[in-house]
Amino acid sequence: MDFTRRHLLCGCAATALTGCVSQGGGGQIRAGYAPSLDSAEGGLWEIFNKAEADLKFSPLRMTDEELNRYVTDIACRLAGKHCTDMRVYLMRTPFFNATMAPNGMMQVWSGLLLRCQNEAQLAAVLGHEIGHYLKRHSLQRFEQMRDNSSVAAFLGIAIAAAGGGALANLPGLVAIANIFAFSREQEREADGVGLELMVNAGYEPVQAAEIWRGLIAERDAGLTLEERQDQKQQRDVFFASHPAPADRAQALALQAAAYPGGKRIVGEDRYLAQARAFRDTMMQDELRLHQYDRTLVIIERMKTANPGDADPFYYEGEVYRARNDGIDSGRAMNAYGRALELDETHGLSWRGIGILHRRAGKQEKAAAAFRQYLELVPDAEDRLMIQSYVGA
Ligand SMILES: [Zn+2]
């Protein structure tokens, strides 16, 4: 699938909707709360209820039951008595983002799932978004907005989104995220709530800082030195709407350290057990963005989280094979080889090796590698094409 206008529509609308408008009005929301329909807050909820009705049928939704249950259960453990006030939607959109709408509609994008190293990191992001909900930050923002033209812009976007209107592409997402960004104070507050929810649910709070460190490393890998020095270079949806990641990582690390030590959940293995079945697809979506330097950072973090896992080496091979710059073919070959050392049944790595040999004109070697692939992955989607390469 490509991530052009049409495909980004829902995620995009969602960003506008969620990230932006949450709940305002001061004070923590009570469990089971719903505003009266004739209030401004009620009107705001109504817009998002409509958007949510559309979102349920979005082609971008990841509908796997087990994965949905896994993420929803984490959100529920974090939210406690507010569990039933929120709904989590997993969306196939290859950027790091999660959003929370005022009515409790939370979106988690696949780009975020790809980047989490463990369950605690996912819990950190979910906890942060729940924090926006509990503190009714969207409503606060909306109330601050009422006097200026942002309201018109906001309503236009919300209605377009609710009715399946047109908003898409990355710059569009960033622009929208900017308009509706939460204030620095609100972000800090959501971070604080998120940490507390994490600790109450038994998670290791240090992981909250770790995910930001990963994002910073990834962003820096994709920028030239010049761009890195230019603070205005904010090409990421998430960075555009969330302030100063370095300060944030540091503040979170300090706060996390203040919690008493103890045996807490990090959950590398159980996160991998859930995410593994979807990672190949999420990585293919990531590769279509052609941001190879950044993708390599994501892969390095996967290796760190699960050192015995063959997949990250296979992904590394895929990055180099796709980039095909200078000595990338050799790099790709090494990476596939490493994946096969860790797991000799890693059929997709044989596929990559076959393509590299074929590209180099080594037909016999290519055929041998493709045969290995077809033997290990008997139901391969590209079986017919590969068979034609092998001449079988
Ligand atoms: Zn936030």
Give the CATH number, domain containing residue 383.
Answer: 1.25.40.10
Domain boundary among 197, 232, 258: 258
Most trustworthy range by pLDDT among 181-185, 215-219, 315-319: 315-319
Q: Which domain holds residue 32?
A: 5-258
Give the span between the Cα atoms of 175 and 236, in whole angstroms. 10
224 and 366 part of one domain: no
Q: What is the pLDDT of residue 209?
A: 94
Return the higher-pLDDT residue of 171 and 157: 157
Give the span between the Cα atoms of 120 and 198, in whole angstroms. 8
The helix/strand/coil state of 106 is strand
Residues 6+ apart with CB under 8 A from 307: none
186 and 106 part of one domain: yes
322 and 254 part of one domain: no
Most trustworthy range by pLDDT among 216-225, 243-252, 319-328: 319-328
The helix/strand/coil state of 322 is helix
Q: Among 16-20, 90-94, 139-143, whose mean pLDDT is lowest? A: 16-20
Give the span between the Cα atoms of 286 and 283, in whole angstroms. 5
Q: Among 123-132, 239-248, 363-372, whose mean pLDDT is lowest? A: 239-248
CA of 129 to the centre of ligand 1 (A): 6
Task: State yes or no: pLDDT of 115 exceeds 80.
Answer: yes
The 10s digit of each residue's pLDDT in 299-320 is 999 999 999 999 999 999 999 9
Here the tokens at position 56 are 């349920």
224 and 364 part of one domain: no
CA of 135 to the centre of ligand 1 (A): 11
CA of 287 to the centre of ligand 1 (A): 26
Mean pLDDT of the residues in the chain: 83
CA of 150 to the centre of ligand 1 (A): 19
Q: Does 329 map to a domain?
A: yes
Task: State yes or no: pLDDT of 146 exceeds 50.
Answer: yes
Most trustworthy range by pLDDT among 57-61, 219-223, 234-238, 348-352: 348-352
Return the higher-pLDDT residue of 257 and 158: 257
CA of 128 to the centre of ligand 1 (A): 6
CA of 321 to the centre of ligand 1 (A): 36
Give the alpha-carbon dihedral of 141, 147, 148, 149, to 10 degrees.
90
CA of 100 to the centre of ligand 1 (A): 8
CA of 63 to the centre of ligand 1 (A): 25
In the chain, which residue ranges form alpha helices assigned H by DSSP?
A: 5-14, 40-55, 65-79, 110-115, 119-134, 137-145, 150-162, 170-179, 184-200, 206-221, 225-229, 237-241, 245-258, 268-287, 292-305, 311-323, 328-342, 347-359, 363-376, 383-390
Here the tokens at position 193 are 């709530």
Q: 89: pLDDT confidence band, cut at 50, 70 and 90? A: very high
Domain boundary among 235, 258, 281: 258
Q: 331: pLDDT confidence band, cut at 50, 70 and 90? A: very high
327 and 206 part of one domain: no
Task: State yes or no: pLDDT of 14 exceeds 50.
Answer: no
Give which of 55, 121, 124, 132 is closest to 88, Cα–Cα. Answer: 55
Domain boundary among 239, 258, 277: 258
Give which of 324, 322, 350 is closest to 337, Cα–Cα. Answer: 350
242 and 349 part of one domain: no
Contact 170/7 with Cβ under 8 angstroms?
no
Q: Give the burial class of 66: count Cβ atoms within 10 A of its Cβ; 0-12 exposed, 13-18 middle, 19 or more buried.
A: exposed
Q: What is the pLDDT of residue 100?
A: 85
163 and 52 part of one domain: yes
Give the span between the Cα atoms of 381 and 386, in whole angstroms. 10
Domain count, the chain: 2
